[in-house]
Amino acid sequence: MDINTKELKLKEGIRPDLNKTSGDWSGIDKISKKEGNQLLEKVGTEIAQLQRVLFAEKKNPILIVLQGMDTSGKDGTIRHVFRYVNPGGVHVIPFDRPTAQELSHDYLWRVHRKVPAKGEIAIFDRSHYEDIIAVRVNKLMPKSVWSKRYDHINAFEQMLSDEGVIILKFFLHIDKQTQKERLEQRLENHEKHWKFDQSDVVARANWANYMEAYADVFERCNGSHAPWYLIHSNKRWARNLQVASVLLEKLKLLKMKYPEAKVDPSSIQIK
């Protein structure tokens, strides 16, 4: 079964109404969880094969941005989608609150230094978009500051693209009810208590403001060189399959190949 990734890609210049966008994936009607996990295994194996070529060719870096509300599954996506790849060529970078050193620089400084090298994949668990979204919702800076950052980020991503960086941005979209259930699970399960933070409740109270902030980002920071994909994430297995399918499609489009040998292999004798 082929996954229609085009329907996941947000249209450029269009502001989506996230309150009317379901966290349930329409493709779920055509496939069962068992079939979905089997397909993920197949897709993941293909990703692993292509990642080896990516690493050997050392032509393009791939930057994957994961954004989403608390419990949307950023960690789970990383764990399930990228379990097939060689960890030597993949780096996960979580962006928590800026450190004192990071705050002493411009806000993109800490981000730029984590951009992957050629042949590598970097996964941003949250990203530079927090410097608009979190800053805006939590009123950490005035609008006169964060409103300029849409253009800053567009220019930053355009520069990366011009330098050969492949950028894929995923918004893991869940319904508010789904988040409620997942937060309650964290409170009920002793093994998940560590994942619960009081800030999750504070952020939930600002749900509408977050949806507003995200919608503005999708309208203003979405281009063919750095597209946003809306991943319907109410079902974890469906979320993983959507992300993996987009990544596989992009890897195939690169038409990569292993580099030619620097010497004639037939001329070498190993004694």
Percent of the chain past pLDDT 90, that is, above it, reads 84
How high is the pLDDT of residue 197?
Answer: 76
Domain residue spans of the chain: 5-255
Number of H helices, E strands in the chain: 11, 5
pLDDT per residue over 77-106, tens digit each? 999 999 989 999 999 999 999 999 999 999
Residue 62 φ/ψ, nearest 5 degrees: -120, 125
CA distance 160 to 220: 18
Q: Is the model more confident about 113 or about 27?
A: 113
Least confident residue range of 39-53, 157-171, 252-266 = 252-266
Question: Which two structure tokens, joined as six digits, stand for 107?
Answer: 């806000």
Q: Which of 33, 65, 71 is nearest to 176 (CA)?
A: 71
Q: Is the model more confident about 61 or about 187?
A: 61
C-beta atoms surrounding 163 within 10 Å: 11
Mean pLDDT across the chain, nearest whole number?
A: 94
- Please check the confidence at residue 201 and state whether its pLDDT lies above 90: no
Check whether domain 5-255 has CATH 3.90.550.10, yes or no: no
Say which DSSP state 83 is in.
T
For residues 228 and 5, the answer to whether their CB atoms sit within 8 Å is no
In angstroms, the first-to-last Cα distance of the chain is 49
How high is the pLDDT of residue 1?
Answer: 66
pTM above 0.75, yes or no: yes
For residues 166 and 51, the answer to whether their CB atoms sit within 8 Å is no
Task: Kindly indicate the confidence band of residue 58, based on its pLDDT and cuts at 50, 70 and 90.
Answer: very high
